[in-house]
Amino acid sequence: MSTGRSASSPVSLVIPPSPFLADERVFPFIGVLKVASVLEAAGVPVDILDCSGYANYQDLLLEYLDQHRDMDWFGITATTPQLPNAVELLHTIREQRPQARVTVGGPHATLTTAAWKMDQEKGLRGRGSIAYDQLTSLFDCVVAGDGEEAVFRALGVNQPQLIDADDLHSDLFLKRGSLEDFPYPARQLIDLASYHYTIDGHPATSLIGQLGCPFKCGFCGGRDAASFRFIRTRRPEHIAQEIRHLHSVYGYTGYMFYDDELNVTPRGLEDLCGALIALQDELGTEMRFRGFVKAELFTERQAAAMYKAGFRVLLSGVESGSDRILAAMEKRTTAEINSRCLRLARDAGMEFKALMSIGHPGESRRTVVESVEWVLREQPNEVDWTVITQYPGSPYFDHSVRVSGQRGTWVYETMAGELLYSREVDYTREAEFYKGVSGSYVSYVWTPDLSADTLVWERDEAERVTRAALGMPPIQSIAAEQFEHSMGQGLLPARVLRSTRETMAVSH
């Protein structure tokens, strides 16, 4: 369909709220900021409406639409749990501005498209197809995969229903070695100061050094999506340059690496640490870092390099204390490998945060106890417990089959015959599966031994027992804010809306 837009027509990128998070303004969504930066570099005027942390986000959008009557192109980014809010935003745009084109991009669009493509290959109509059809029936255009090049196709005339950049052979897929050709994420288009995080007392923000993880953990989204699996790195010096930029513009001395796993390439982590050390020497500033590592690839040399560079806390997806469950999820680790990883971190002087999960194929009371015992025995400094959620694009989701005679029930079976059942979820409506706060979890999965409700109870208990044993306080939720119409005297505040239009007007 022709949009009739010119290359200089403004676009609006919308970040929906994430009410499932305990605190919505901790780390910003980097992907949408990368898209904004390439648009800005190309001279396309960009507004970013950041609804993070606002319960009455629809009021923000209505106010925005009222103030920007020329805006007729919207791009909404969404993770799977953000989708219900993204759909609400879409409906409001449709009501208020029926002629506007609305594109959806981000992780949910990418993962759902990958799941649909897998169904196509198998010649069946599975869950991926259902989720994909829902998405394409709602939005004018779906962008799957890297948005940096794809967004220009989405802006063009004859906007297609699907722009598939999540394909190794697509010219829209960012090739290895090309990440450095793009500008840094446009963090100036959000109110970064309103995102609060500290590492060891250092004011901190997040960045992504490299993309992709080639492993196949059953619960992890994107195992069948090229843009999630294919490793694409930047030179360590380029990553250090981005940190130098963030330090000089914002003054941050703490950085959370949101790479899937920092040590998936040989020597990559050690080289990164070398660049971080050189940067701090050059600036005469001490910095602190955090990041995730894959336990079986973790070495003494990596641990020593990380400590020297300023890492003081290591995060690792331990997931379970049961070797049987670790095998069922294809984690390629064992309880002993995870213990060894923790010891290496400790011996190097770092703390260890264990990320645990319950609700894998074959999970039973016994295996949950093994997980709790692992935590109590190894005493990580911090622990986090979640109930498994089946996201489109994860093996648990993509490879589940319908249970005959039980409407809306699916089952995933491992090679060893371990089972994980799940209820069909309408991702456009339900986001209650991850709340982050004890007492508010909902499970849509269950095993032959543990019902969905029991899994939630086991999670809450595991969290209560282990956090108490480790001396950790209960998780608190930060209440979402209400947008007050008076706060900007009729204009949306900079905490919510930022635009390149002002800077472009000044520079032209």
Which residues of the shown chain bind ligand SF4 in the complex (CB under 6 A)? 213, 215, 217, 220, 260-261, 294, 317
Residue (213 or 496) nearer to ligand SF4, CB: 213
DSSP state, residue 91: H
Residue 177: exposure state from Cβ atoms within 10 A (0-12, 13-18, ≥19)? exposed
CB atoms near residue 102 (< 10 Å): 22
Residue (142 or 315) nearer to ligand SF4, CB: 315
Residue (264 or 305) nearer to ligand SF4, CB: 264
Residue (195 or 228) nearer to ligand SF4, CB: 228
Joined together, the tokens standing for residue 508 give 């032209």
Residue (259 or 378) nearer to ligand SF4, CB: 259
Residue (327 or 480) nearer to ligand SF4, CB: 327
Residue (81 or 317) nearer to ligand SF4, CB: 317
Question: Whose structure tokens read 């897929």?
Answer: 173
CB 204 within 8 A of CB 288: yes
State in angstroms the smallest separation of the CB of 52 from ligand SF4.
Answer: 24
Residue (159 or 400) nearer to ligand SF4, CB: 400
Angle between helices 300-309 and 268-283 (to 10 degrees): 20
For residue 42, which of 497, 494, 504, 499 has the smallest C-alpha distance? 504
CB 90 within 8 A of CB 142: no
State in angstroms the smallest separation of the CB of 356 from ligand SF4.
Answer: 13
State in angstroms the smallest separation of the CB of 227 from ligand SF4.
Answer: 13
CB atoms near residue 368 (< 10 Å): 25
State in angstroms the smallest separation of the CB of 222 from ligand SF4.
Answer: 7
**Residues comprising the chain, all counted:** 508
Which H or E run contains 105?
strand 101-105
DSSP codes of every residue in 401-469: EEPTTSTTEEEEE-TT--EEEEE---TTT--TT--SSTT-----EE-SSS-HHHHHHHHHHHHHHHHHH
CB 356 within 8 A of CB 383: yes
CB atoms near residue 309 (< 10 Å): 21
Please report which residue ranges of 156-286 form alpha helices under DSSP H. 226-229, 236-250, 268-283
State in angstroms the smallest separation of the CB of 210 from ligand SF4.
Answer: 12
State in angstroms the smallest separation of the CB of 394 from ligand SF4.
Answer: 9
State in angstroms the smallest separation of the CB of 107 from ligand SF4.
Answer: 13
State in angstroms the smallest separation of the CB of 223 from ligand SF4.
Answer: 6
Residue (146 or 260) nearer to ligand SF4, CB: 260
State in angstroms the smallest separation of the CB of 262 from ligand SF4.
Answer: 11
Residues forming a β-bridge with 105: 77
